[in-house]
Amino acid sequence: RRARLSLEPCAHEGGVASCHFLRGRPELLTAGAADNSLRMWSSDLHSGELSALRGRAGHAAPPTLVRFHDDELHVGGGPGGQTHLLSAGGDRTLRRSSIWSAQQDCELSQGRETKRRSMHETSVRERRLPPVLALASSQRRERDWANVVTCHAGSPVAYSWDTTTKALAPHTLAARPAAPITAVAISACGNFAFLGSAIGAIDKYNLQSGKPRAAAAAEERHEGAVRGLAAAADGRTLFSCGGDGTLRLWAPAALKLQSTADVGCACGMLRHKRDSTLVALA
């Protein structure tokens, strides 16, 4: 007798490319046509109901940002944090991937935000946060509070994430005054996040409480969008670059401008290695 025993809505994002039962086992393997994932389902021998068993997935669209999840400092005699990657893609997801073990790969949950989206947004992708523009991470206080910060296209708030819970952290960090955030950084101690906005403002937030701690004076801001931020390992300097073609050094405690260097052209990116005194601009 032909009868439907089980229905799994939204088993994959998009169509199902193929599905096969494993020989001699009540387990179904499915491959998604659009979400770049493999899923294993267990079938109940009596009722035929399917239940999710395990799965493997990657970005469903090309990655746009990939960073090592580390502090770029030597820990215990060797380089720390070189076992995991943080990546963001065109599918609007943030993923953590292990270099050594695929079993540790995961997508950081956006459940809190996707539930707030309009009921008229039926696409899973459209209910996610906007694409990630920049991210910063730290392992220093990884087990204590949020340790990843991201800024998103057109968004006036930055989002904090916790890699221990693999999900969004409770606090969102807003630019003051309100403007799209274009750059983020985390201090070497892992306690503070720095935000740069499209109007040249820079703000400092406490990651544990989510409260603002300092802001750059209006007369010291960049004359254009902040394109890059980086905190030095000694905690005494914050670097910033902007579309106004300047590299600026700040005292991070109160965000007081220390010095300014004219680069000669608009800056689009800043990189700083914490185990050196070098800063690279592009």
What H or E segment, with its residue span, contains residue 247?
A: strand 246-251
**How does the average pLDDT of the chain come out, rounded?**
88
- Average pLDDT, integer, range 153-169: 94
Q: Are 237 and 247 in contact (CB under 8 A)?
A: no
Give the model's confidence band at 79: pLDDT under 50 very low, under 70 low, under 90 confident, else very high.
very low
In this predicted structure, what is the pLDDT of residue 226? Answer: 96
197-212 as b/e: b if 16+ CB within 10 A: bbbbbbbbbebeebee
How many whole angstroms separate alpha carbon 94 and alpha carbon 86?
Answer: 7
- Average pLDDT, integer, range 22-38: 88
Give the model's confidence band at 268: pLDDT under 50 very low, under 70 low, under 90 confident, else very high.
very high
pLDDT digits (tens, 9 = 90+) for 171-209: 999 999 999 999 999 999 999 999 999 999 999 999 999
How many whole angstroms separate alpha carbon 212 and alpha carbon 215?
Answer: 8
Q: Are 184 and 193 in contact (CB under 8 A)?
A: yes
Residue 217 has pLDDT above 50, yes or no: yes
Residue 210 has pLDDT above 50, yes or no: yes
Residue 33 has pLDDT above 90, yes or no: no
What H or E segment, with its residue span, contains residue 114?
A: helix 111-114
In this predicted structure, what is the pLDDT of residue 72? Answer: 55
How many whole angstroms separate alpha carbon 42 and alpha carbon 193?
Answer: 43
Max mean pLDDT among 27-36, 170-179, 266-275 falls in 170-179
Residue 45 has pLDDT above 80, yes or no: no
How many whole angstroms separate alpha carbon 171 and alpha carbon 208?
Answer: 9
- Average pLDDT, integer, range 10-22: 86
Among the residue ranges 1-10, 56-65, 223-232, 233-242, the one predicted with the least confidence is 1-10
In this predicted structure, what is the pLDDT of residue 220? Answer: 95
pTM of the model: 0.84
Q: Write the single-letter amino acid at 157.
A: V
In this predicted structure, what is the pLDDT of residue 6? Answer: 79
Q: Are 223 and 200 in contact (CB under 8 A)?
A: yes
Higher pLDDT, 49 or 249: 249
Nearest to 173 by CA among 186, 165, 104: 186
225-246 as b/e: b if 16+ CB within 10 A: bbbbbbbbbeeebbbbbbbbbb
Residue 227 has pLDDT above 80, yes or no: yes
Residue 116 has pLDDT above 90, yes or no: no
Among the residue ranges 77-86, 98-107, 167-176, 263-272, the one predicted with the least confidence is 77-86
**Is residue 212 classed as helix, strand or coil in its secondary structure?**
strand
Residue 1 has pLDDT above 70, yes or no: no
Percent of the chain with pLDDT over 70: 93
Give the model's confidence band at 76: pLDDT under 50 very low, under 70 low, under 90 confident, else very high.
very low
